[in-house]
Structure 1
Amino acid sequence: MSDANRDVGLSTLVAPEHRRSAGAIVQDEYDVDAPWHHHDMHQLQYAFEGAMELEDEHGRHLLPRSLAGWIPAGVRHRNSLHRIRSVAILLSPESVPVAGSGVRILRVSPLMREMIAEAVRWPLDRPVDVTGTAFFAAFACLCSEWIEDQAPLTLPSTTDPALIRALDYVRANPAGSHMAAAAVAAGLSERSLRRRCQAELGMGWDEYRRRARLLASIEPLAETDLSIACIAADVGFESQSAFAHAFRRLLGQTPQEFRRRAQR
């Protein structure tokens, strides 16, 4: 494993002798690009404003306020938080016994958002009263349901250095990314880049770029009042109808439906 991908090991967030079986950590002042690590508790990661990035061994995830990240205990991951209003809810492994084997991206319902906001009453390093105990028991039960409704919003990742350079180029500017420039960034021919995309990612170059563009649309859809047509153009689609078709194919709903649900 390269230095960039080496797991720094267990990160407990709060020392075991001070923490409880469930609680919240407010992360508003965090300004970090965390290294690969894992926890011994389940974690639900959520941003009330702005967006965070979360990555596991299978791909990268962007989390605006319409989405949350579920990270089971022991799962290797890393995240980026840059002074956004966010919170992590930590739960003991036994509270959600069927937690899954990897990161899941969850659609945030109004109920989930309200419960995440309420959870900050009980910081992880302080005693949980009777009300808090009942609250987190209910929260854990609901997590078992929520993690079944995951959103297909993932960009696959790779350890191939040349391909990483090409994909970094696409993510940095999905609207303006072109195969020729990506191939130059990777130091590959266009033909070789297409072949490596399919072999390493399980999807072609065009599909990766399309998904990167769709992911870039999530935050403006959830956080702004920009028109759908403007967002479609900003992320690189030639028309609103092409954007709506691609969005519905990936998420199973139209951009308008996604926006209504995200802004409730």
Structure 2
Amino acid sequence: MTVSALSDRHDAESATPRQIDLRRGGRALAGSYLYEGDKLLTGWHSHDVHQIEYAMGGVVEVETRAGHYLLPPQQAAWLPVGLEHSATMNPDVKTIAVMFDPQLLPHAGNRARILAVSPLIREMMIYALRWPIDRRVGSREEEAIADGFFRTLAHLVADALDHEAPLNLPTSDHPIVAAAMAYTKEHLQSVSAEDVSRAVAVSERTLRRLFGDTLGISWRTYLLHARMLRAMALLALPETSVQDVSSAVGFDNLSSFTRAFAQFSGETPSSYRRRVKRVEEPTGRRRR
């Protein structure tokens, strides 16, 4: 997700995926990166290291060939080495990323995941800011301390990979399904199956069959998940009310929205909003 300050903005927006050398030719076994900035589209890219990115504030959206992921505040995204992805850094984003040489997590899988990180992992990621990923390798003693720290963090992250949060939407190469998903996401406030069917020129019956056959879920389930993920992103923005968010994602009344949100996320919209707006202030190097 991190592209070295998303170092070369022009190149990062290229349509051709690139592999980014976050170590800038260095030999660090692991390291960190702090990003604060305005809205940014990274373009498709990959890394030569594993990456876990923790959202301190704001919302990040990540897309891979397999799905569309939402990274709300106080959650972490796992992106294994070599995974092609693109990211949208929404306004007021603040994230901490820790990168690991693949040898530190040799069995990390090959897909993106959103993790509910423990307080210990969060604090260790903040502490890791003293060792930037593009640092010059120091003395043998200094690097031994850093390597020991990151090996411990890598073990904790490996355990956390078994506890991912369902904060993603599927993607599809099927042209009708892809068009239907795009239309659904663009019209969450008032969309219906009839509207989508008309927009993609198929019957409602065909629409339901294609979603089931292609994605393994119904269009109605896709709609609900899209609404919940959009609601989580909106609730993290400044000056938003729960009522406004409820209306924006297509609910007729606040009580039905609250019930659906709680079933999806395990907490009410109000408690989620309070939690994600408690932004922590890490110490360390700040870069844009």
> Is the contact between residue 27 and residue 86 of structure 1 (CA under 8 Å) also seen in structure 2?
yes
Tell me the CA shift for residue 107 of structure 1.
Answer: 1.5
> Is the contact between residue 28 and residue 87 of structure 1 (CA under 8 Å) also seen in structure 2?
no
Give unmatched runs, 5+ long, in structure 2.
Answer: 1-14, 279-288
Q: Does 1:21 align with 2:21?
A: no
The residue type paired with residue 154 of structure 2 is: A
> For 2:102, which of 68, 77, 93 is the aligned residue?
93
TM-score (norm 1): 0.82
Could you tell me which residue of structure 2 aligns to residue 3 of structure 1?
none
Spell out, residue by residue over 1:207-250, the C-alpha distance to the aligned partner (whole angstroms, 9 max, x if none).
11111110011134445575544433332223333333333433
- Structure 1 pair 48/19, CA: closer, same or farther in 2 (3 Å)? farther
Spell out, residue by residue over 1:49-69, the C-alpha distance to the aligned partner (whole angstroms, 9 max, x if none).
221111223310111213221
Cα RMSD after superposing both structures: 2.8
Q: Does 1:195 align with 2:209?
A: yes
> For 2:69, which of 61, 78, 85 is the aligned residue?
61
Matches within 5 A, 1:3-152: 8=17, 10-15=19-24, 17-29=25-37, 31-35=40-44, 37-81=45-89, 84-126=93-135, 127=137, 129-130=142-143, 131-152=145-166
How far apart are the structure 2 equivalents of 1:153 and 1:22?
27
Larger displacement relative to structure 2 (198-207 or 85-94): 85-94
> For 1:240, which of 254, 258, 280 is the aligned residue?
254
Tell me the CA shift for residue 22 of structure 1.
Answer: 0.6
Q: How many residues align?
A: 257
- Structure 1 pair 237/19, CA: closer, same or farther in 2 (3 Å)? farther
TM-score (norm 2): 0.76
How far apart are the structure 2 equivalents of 1:257 and 1:98?
36
Could you tell me which residue of structure 2 aligns to residue 155 of structure 1?
169
The residue type paired with residue 264 of structure 2 is: L
Larger displacement relative to structure 2 (206-215 or 86-95): 86-95
How far apart are the structure 2 equivalents of 1:174 and 1:111?
37
Tell me the CA shift for residue 172 of structure 1.
Answer: 2.6
Give unmatched runs, 5+ long, in structure 1.
Answer: 1-5
The residue type paired with residue 180 of structure 1 is: E
How far apart are the structure 2 equivalents of 1:109 and 1:226?
27
> For 1:174, which of 188, 194, 198 is the aligned residue?
188
SS of corresponding position for 1:158: coil
How far apart are the structure 2 equivalents of 1:181 and 1:212?
16
Spell out, residue by residue over 1:61-120, the C-alpha distance to the aligned partner (whole angstroms, 9 max, x if none).
111213221012233332223563334321011212332331110124444433333322
> Is the contact between residue 108 and residue 262 of structure 1 (CA under 8 Å) also seen in structure 2?
no
SS of corresponding position for 2:31: strand
SS of corresponding position for 2:151: helix
Spell out, residue by residue over 1:26-64, the C-alpha distance to the aligned partner (whole angstroms, 9 max, x if none).
3435833412x4333111123332211112233101112
The residue type paired with residue 98 of structure 1 is: H
SS of corresponding position for 1:143: helix
Tell me the CA shift for residue 157 of structure 1.
Answer: 0.5
The residue type paired with residue 82 of structure 2 is: G
How far apart are the structure 2 equivalents of 1:259 and 1:112?
22
